[in-house]
Amino acid sequence: MSIVLLEDINVLIYSWNDKTSKMTEDDYKTETLKYLEIVLEHKIEKQISDRQNLDFTISVDLQTWLANEIITPVTAKVKIKLAILLCEEIFTQISFEQALGEVVKPNYIQSFFGTKESALEWLEQF
Question: What is the DSSP code string of the chain?
Answer: -EEEEETTTTEEEEE--TTGGG--HHHHHHHHHHHHHHHHHHT--EEEEE-TT---PPPHHHHHHIIIIIIHHHHHHS-EEEEEEPPS-HHHHHHHHHHHHT---TTEEEEEESSHHHHHHHHTT-
Quote the CA–CA distance of 3 and 75 in Å, as a whole number. Answer: 19
Edge-first strand order for the sheet with 46-50 is 2-6, 11-15, 46-50, 80-85, 108-113
Per-residue confidence (pLDDT) for residue 18, from 0 to 100: 81
Structural domain harbouring 88 = 2-123
pLDDT (tens place) for every residue of the chain, 126 residues total: 999 999 999 999 999 988 888 999 999 999 999 999 999 999 999 999 998 888 888 898 998 999 899 989 999 999 999 999 986 555 456 556 655 665 556 788 888 888 899 999 999 999
Per-residue confidence (pLDDT) for residue 100, from 0 to 100: 61
Quote the CA–CA distance of 115 and 89 in Å, as a whole number. Answer: 16
Look up the CATH number of the domain holding residue 56: 3.30.750
Number of structural domains found in the chain: 1
